[in-house]
Structure 1
Amino acid sequence: MSVNGEYLRVTSAELERALKDPAWALELAEETQDAQGEREVAPAEARHFTTHQTWHLLGFLLRRFAFPVDIVHGEEVLTTDDWGYEPPRYLTRDRVRLAADIMRQTTYDQLIEGVDPAELTKAEIYPQIWDSPTSLEWARDLFTPLTEFFQGAASAGHAVLIWLD
Structure 2
Amino acid sequence: MGMIWEGRAVSAAELARLRTSPEYLWQLRESGGEPPAVVDLDKAWHALHWLLAGDDAPTDDVLADAIMGGVGVGEDTGYGPARVLEADRVAEVAAALAPIDVPWLRARYDPQRLSEAEIYPDIWDEDDVFEEYLAFHFTLLKALYAHAAERRCAVVQAIT
Q: Determine whether 1:76 maps to 2:66.
A: no
The structure in which a higher percent of residues are strand is: 2
8 Å CA contact 1:26–1:83 kept in 2: the answer is no
Stretches of 4+ aligned residues off by more than 4 angstroms: none
What amino acid does structure 2 have at the position aligned with 1:71?
A
Task: Name whichever of 62-71 and 123-132 sits farther off.
Answer: 62-71
Alignment partners' CA distance in 2, 1:9 and 1:51? 14
Instruction: Tell me which residue corresponds to 1:56.
Output: 46
Alignment partners' CA distance in 2, 1:21 and 1:100? 27
- Which of 110, 126, 135 is the aligned partner of 1:116? 110
Alignment partners' CA distance in 2, 1:105 and 1:127? 27
Question: Any stretches of 5+ residues in structure 1 without a counterpart?
Answer: none
Deviation at 1:101, TM superposition (A): 1.4
Q: Do the aligned partners of residues 89 and 114 (structure 1) sit closer, same or farther apart at CA in structure 2, a change above 3 Å counting?
A: closer
Instruction: Tell me which residue corresponds to 2:6.
Output: 6
Matches within 5 A, 1:1-165: 1-31=1-31, 33=32, 36=33, 41=34, 43-44=35-36, 46=37, 48-64=38-54, 67-69=61-63, 70-79=65-74, 81-131=75-125, 134-137=128-131, 138-165=133-160
Q: TM-score, normalised by structure 2?
A: 0.86
Question: Any stretches of 5+ residues in structure 2 without a counterpart?
Answer: none
Q: Do the aligned partners of residues 52 and 18 (structure 1) sit closer, same or farther apart at CA in structure 2, a change above 3 Å counting?
A: same
What amino acid does structure 1 have at the position aligned with 2:90?
V
Alignment partners' CA distance in 2, 1:141 and 1:87? 26
Alignment partners' CA distance in 2, 1:49 and 1:115? 22
How many pairs are equivalent? 154
